[in-house]
A and B are shown apart, each in its own frame.
Chain A
Amino acid sequence: GESVGLHLPTLSVQEGDNSIINCAYSNSASDYFIWYKQESGKGPQFIIDIRSNMDKRQGQRVTVLLNKTVKHLSLQIAATQPGDSAVYFCAENMGYGQNFVFGPGTRLSVLP
């Protein structure tokens, strides 16, 4: 069965506020994680990745945090914009030769 996420929650934020999207994973052997953004009618788009030897990685307006102790991953979006509205998926990889397992996703709605 799925090892990442359990359902599709929805997060609504005001434009300009910061967003935090969470993801729980169950396999402690996972050592590489990716956040994808999927807009309506499009395929998933890579946002940011992180390896298990790190606990934080920053990109442009996005930060990913990894807490291996509780097997939790989060995506922080600063100054959320209308164009950030989408479904966000975390995906985990359990090592060399393994494929990615995707969670069910979180829908982010940005309110004007």
Chain B
Amino acid sequence: EAGVAQSPRYKIIEKRQSVAFWCNPISGHATLYWYQQILGQGPKLLIQFQNNGVVDDSQLPKDRFSAERLKGVDSTLKIQPAKLEDSAVYLCASSSMTGRQETQYFGPGTRLLVL
């Protein structure tokens, strides 16, 4: 079974530029998550999708971050404009169910450095 795929693996941008990350979850997984992991910390949830609908985006900085999952499969996370403090690893995870405490499977992450 293929795992969660993410691209790019690394990205370096200057502040105020925009950037987009892509995620392809495990086939058949209805729930998709985006996490932000700052160096030395645990992952922090940004947004959760159930199919193509948003379940929880309470911790997403909506003035600069946006995410979509139009067809209920792949997802993109965008930052515009980026700030220095956005430097982090952005992890995508998927699970087969939501609300039933199903195990989340993580992708390798995208490492973002904002200069």
Question: Are A and B associated in one complex?
Answer: yes
- A interface, CB within 8 angstroms of B: 2, 4-5, 8, 32, 34, 36, 41-46, 49, 89, 91, 93, 95-97, 99-100, 102-105
B contact residues vs A (CB 8 Å cutoff): 4, 33, 40-45, 48, 56, 91, 93, 98-101, 103-109
Answer whether A104 and B42 are a contact pair too, CB < 8 Å, given A43-B4, A43-B108. Answer: yes
14 inter-chain pairs at a CB distance below 8 angstroms, sorted by A residue, are A8-B40, A32-B101, A43-B91, A43-B106, A43-B108, A44-B106, A46-B103, A46-B105, A89-B42, A96-B100, A99-B48, A100-B45, A102-B43, A104-B42
Are B44 and A45 closer than 8 Å at their CB atoms? Answer: no
Given known pairs A41-B108, A43-B108, the reply for A49 and B103 (CB within 8 Å) is yes
- Distance in angstroms between the alpha carbons of A97 and B108 in the assembled complex: 25
- Taking CB atoms, residues of chain A closer than 8 Å to B104 are 46, 100
Please give the distance in Å from B109's CB to the nearest CB on chain A.
5
Taking the nearest CB of chain B, how far is it from the CB of A23, in angstroms?
10
Residues on B with beta carbons closer than 8 Å to the beta carbon of A96: 99-101
- Tell whether, in the assembled complex, residue B56 and residue A5 are in contact, meaning their CB atoms are under 8 Å apart: no
Question: Are A99 and B45 closer than 8 Å at their CB atoms?
Answer: yes
Q: Is the Cβ of A42 less than 8 Å from the Cβ of B41?
A: no
Q: Roughly how many angstroms separate A97 CA and B101 CA in the complex, as a whole number?
A: 8
**A24, chain B: closest CB distance, angstroms:** 13
Max count, chain B CB within 10 A of own CB: residue among A5, A44, A46, A105: A44
CB <8 Å contact, A102 and B42: yes
Q: Tell me the bound Cα distance from A41 to B108 in angstroms.
A: 7
In the complex, besides A42-B109, A96-B99, A102-B42, 7 extra interface pairs with C-beta distance below 8 angstroms are A34-B103, A43-B106, A46-B103, A49-B103, A96-B100, A99-B45, A104-B42
**Given A34-B103, A49-B103, A96-B99, A43 and B48 contact (CB-CB distance below 8 Å):** no
A14 to B93, CA, bound (A): 33
Partner of A44, one of B43, B56, B98, B99: B43
Picked from B40, B44, B100, the residue with its CB within 8 Å of the CB of A102 is B44
Contact at A93–B101, with CB atoms within 8 Å? yes
Across the interface, which residues of B come within 8 angstroms of A49, CB to CB? 103
